[in-house]
A and B are shown apart, each in its own frame.
Chain A
Amino acid sequence: MADVESCLKATELRLGLPGTEETTAAAAALPTPPSTPRGKKRDGNIAADEPAKKRDGETAPPAAKQATVFEVLTRVETTFVSSCRAQVVGWPPVRSYRKSCFQQQSSNAAKQSKPAPPPAEEKAPSAAATTAAAAAGALFVKVSMDGAPYLRKVDLKMYKGYRELREALEAMFLCFSGGAADAPAVNPSDFAVTYEDKDGDLMLVGDVPFE
């Protein structure tokens, strides 16, 4: 698991406010890293007793305590490492039945537009994505890769899950990976797939169920 080890080294946890050199150094190790403040937004369930922080996904408030800084950097580390090991088959060891139940659940939830308030902002993007997909016959999105001379378009409806989408994207951009300058023999799986959601934020692909 060389990928994981090199990512772990690159994301050594150090003290400092977000947006300082530590995160930039970590960012250089990967071609398309999610930026630090955004890393916080996806974790709607980090600490159930800190609703104020997670609501708007902004950087830690100016009066950031040590604990907050560590928390943010831990999110960054986790995010980078996670994108490195995105392709590990069968990990974590969760039965496919369980996974399929969750996929079905989130599409049910979006359909029923429940009266109970959705927990944090996790539900909102899910509902938006579902209605958008349901509306169009095909769902074409622009895809760009750092360093590639031109963009591509993919139809999200062609894929049943993140794995398939990722494999398709890798196949599409395979011709460009040999030319990347930074690291020797850049592996396509080093790349993190991100998207821009309706708020204009750069989000790591994979958090929200595929539907």
Chain B
Amino acid sequence: MTYFPEEVVEHIFSFLPLHSDRNTVSLVCRVWYEVERLSRRAVFVGNCYAVRPERLVQRFPNVRTLTVKGKPHFADFNLVPPDWGGYAGPWIDAAARSCMGLEELRMKRMVVLDENLELLARSFPRFKALVLISCEGFSTDGLAAIASHCKLLRELDLQENDVDDHGPRWLSCFPDSCTSLVSLNFACIKGEVNPGALERLVARSPNLRSLRLNRSVSVDTLSKILVRTPNLEDLGTGNLTDESESYLRLSSALEKCKMLRSLSGFWDASPICVPFIYPLCHHLTGLNLSYTPTLDYSDLTKMISRCVKLQRLWVLDCISDKGLQVVASSCKDLQELRVFPSDFYVAGYSVVTEEGLVAISSGCPKLSSLLYFCHQMTNEALITVAKNCPNFIRFRLCILEPKKPDAITNQPLDEGFGAIVRECKGLRRLSISGLLTDKVFMDIGKYGKQLEMLSIAFAGDSDKGMMHVMNGCKNLRKLEIRDSPFSDVALLGNVAKYETMRSLWMSGCNVTLKGCQVLATKMPMLNVEIMNELDESSEMEENHGDPSRVDKLYVYRTTAGARNDAPDFVKIL
């Protein structure tokens, strides 16, 4: 191989799709390292604090697609205090200085400021795609900058971000010369947009394939837009609350969209709108009704029973077990199902139980990805599900009440989850809930050989539980644990493991400051972050007896050393 000219080596590398493969070839020799780094087009940074941005852009100056993830996953549930970190600024600054060819930036759970977006908009002449997921810190002014200055913009995809609304001006900032949009998702923008500006933008975007509107867009505006987008494949509607006449216009507009395969939105959807969607149903492969508490079980099933090609369904638990039976008998190609709770304020009751899940598993053998919030579960049901669907890659079950046992036998759910990990040999992600002893962790450690991410809440009896996982799950990358009785013994039981993982999160457990200090001393390649909140949350009340008990612990491997942007409440050992 060393006799080949570098261009040939580079060409060979271009056939390696996985980051991990490219990382591996770069280790072979200096020549390959150089060829690889200069030809690398896409870099994925799973933890923004694992590597210094400057270091990264120096190594890969020709990168075109940069993906960076910030806060730990439990930040989604307010377990990470605000101002913890995850700032996009340093990444955009570094790229602006060294990677002029940047075309795509994808960020998840990061703090992005308007000034960062402004710098982004001005720094990269070939910039094409911005994808922000669960980010915060910016306003529509930042979006205005992107719209104004990114002349080749193809994709602006804003998923579930917390965006400050400074008015509808931003959408009008797309210049008349901007005709390149392929994907526009502004569903998370809270305020109004100018319907005229939106219509004109769509009219001059002949390549538009994906359009997700926000709540402010009326049925009338949607109808006018859809007439212009015959090639639309993915649509997120605005609100669907109008009177029935508007739906007639909508219906005829929708008929023109023969390529439409995926639907979402349905904000405040009135049941009146349901029949007008019917003509689309037969072709749909994706349907997200999980933000629509206004449609009940009967509306939902009328729609879904017609979606015979459905592969991905997100729905609220008001669909009920009966509704899930309809899904099971109609949607034979279903691969991904998410059932979200509609009641999560204080009480947490759900009409969805183990019966719905068993029905789905027997009707939809291709099911590989599940997120299921439910009122109760049984071992028998889980064992049945495991037998019916051995192809699970992601299995996330959330029984709303912590530590709830098998609803029939009152036993822990160890057997049930054990069956899942045993039968589903390709399982990569698992979230467990309900009453669970150390036994379930024995099975997870024994059978979870492909497991990459494990989420544990209110589970286990002793340190042995966590040890089973740490010692058994060879491919574990992310471990997140809350309110489980694991102590320093478990934390320190296999310290070398942490260098093979991206991160560990432990909150509400029994680790102490001393244990964390030992970990930090033994493993200098890790950042050991401790957060003890000063405000009196209920978790602190149990902490009275032991001031050295650590409330929240976040451990991650890094080449960057301790970060310098940590707030006061974060202590890095």
Q: State A164–B344 Cα separation when bound (angstroms).
A: 16
Residues of B within 8 A of A86 (CB): 346
Q: Are A101 and B483 in contact (CB under 8 A)?
A: no
Residues of A within 8 A of B402 (CB): 1, 4, 85, 88, 91
Known: A94-B344, A162-B346. 7 other contacts (CB 8 A): A4-B403, A48-B298, A49-B322, A81-B401, A93-B76, A98-B291, A206-B345
Q: Are A89 and B79 in contact (CB under 8 A)?
A: yes
Q: Are A116 and B270 in contact (CB under 8 A)?
A: yes
* B298-338 interface bits toward A, Cβ cutoff 8 Å, 1 = contact, 0 = none: 10000000000000000000101010000000000000000
A/B pair count, beta carbons within 8 Å: 144
Q: A46-B351, A108-B268, A116-B272 are in contact. Are A162 and B77 (CB under 8 A)?
A: no
Q: State A46–B342 Cα separation when bound (angstroms).
A: 12
Residue B160 lies at the interface, judged by CB distance under 8 Å to chain A: yes
Q: Are A90 and B291 in contact (CB under 8 A)?
A: no
Q: State A102–B316 Cα separation when bound (angstroms).
A: 12
Q: A78-B347, A82-B346 are in contact. Are A90 and B401 (CB under 8 A)?
A: no
Residues of A within 8 A of B176 (CB): none
Residues of B within 8 A of A5 (CB): 403
Residues of B within 8 A of A35 (CB): none
Smallest Cβ distance from A26 to chain B, in angstroms? 16
Q: Which of B340, B346, B398, B541 contacts A98 (CB 8 A)?
A: B340
Q: State A66–B401 Cα separation when bound (angstroms).
A: 24
Nearest opposing residue in chain B for A2, CB measure: B542
Q: Are B296 and A48 in contact (CB under 8 A)?
A: yes
Q: Are A207 and B347 in contact (CB under 8 A)?
A: yes
* A116-132 interface bits toward B, Cβ cutoff 8 Å, 1 = contact, 0 = none: 10010000000000000
Residues of A within 8 A of B76 (CB): 93, 95-96
Smallest Cβ distance from B117 to chain A, in angstroms? 19
Residue A112 lies at the interface, judged by CB distance under 8 Å to chain B: yes
Residues of A within 8 A of B347 (CB): 42, 78-79, 82-83, 204, 206-207
Q: State A181–B501 Cα separation when bound (angstroms).
A: 51
Nearest opposing residue in chain B for A86, CB measure: B346
Residues of B within 8 A of A102 (CB): 291, 293, 342
How many A residues face the partner with a CB closer than 8 A? Answer: 52
Nearest opposing residue in chain A for B243, CB measure: A115
Q: Are A207 and B345 in contact (CB under 8 A)?
A: yes
Give B114-149 interface residues, CB cut-off 8 Å to A.
134
29 residue pairs from A and B, CB less than 8 Å apart = A42-B347, A45-B320, A45-B342, A48-B318, A49-B322, A78-B401, A82-B349, A83-B346, A83-B347, A87-B538, A93-B455, A96-B78, A97-B134, A97-B161, A97-B162, A98-B291, A98-B340, A101-B291, A102-B293, A108-B215, A108-B239, A109-B268, A114-B270, A115-B270, A116-B270, A189-B541, A205-B346, A206-B347, A207-B345
Q: Which of B267, B294, B320, B538 contacts A88 (CB 8 A)?
A: B538
Q: Are B241 and A112 in contact (CB under 8 A)?
A: yes
Q: State A99–B340 Cα separation when bound (angstroms).
A: 11
How many B residues face the partner with a CB closer than 8 A? Answer: 58
Most buried by B among A79, A85, A100, A114: A85
Residue A209 lies at the interface, judged by CB distance under 8 Å to chain B: yes
* B60-83 interface bits toward A, Cβ cutoff 8 Å, 1 = contact, 0 = none: 000000000000001011110000
Residue A47 lies at the interface, judged by CB distance under 8 Å to chain B: yes
Q: Are A91 and B457 in contact (CB under 8 A)?
A: yes
Q: Which of A48, A100, A114, A206 contacts B346 (CB 8 A)?
A: A206
Residue B87 lies at the interface, judged by CB distance under 8 Å to chain A: no
Residues of A within 8 A of B241 (CB): 112, 114
Residue A6 lies at the interface, judged by CB distance under 8 Å to chain B: no
Most buried by B among A4, A49, A93, A119: A93
Residue B343 lies at the interface, judged by CB distance under 8 Å to chain A: yes
Residue B373 lies at the interface, judged by CB distance under 8 Å to chain A: yes
Smallest Cβ distance from A109 to chain B, in angstroms? 6
Residue A24 lies at the interface, judged by CB distance under 8 Å to chain B: no
Smallest Cβ distance from A8 to chain B, in angstroms? 8
Q: Which of B290, B291, B341, B483 contacts A92 (CB 8 A)?
A: B341
Q: State A92–B291 Cα separation when bound (angstroms).
A: 17
Give B375-421 interface residues, CB cut-off 8 Å to A.
375, 398, 400-403
Nearest opposing residue in chain B for A81, CB measure: B401
Residue B188 lies at the interface, judged by CB distance under 8 Å to chain A: yes
Q: State A92–B539 Cα separation when bound (angstroms).
A: 15
Q: Are A187 and B541 in contact (CB under 8 A)?
A: yes
Residues of A within 8 A of B243 (CB): 115
Give B514-555 interface residues, CB cut-off 8 Å to A.
537-539, 541
Residues of B within 8 A of A49 (CB): 322
Q: State A40–B348 Cα separation when bound (angstroms).
A: 14
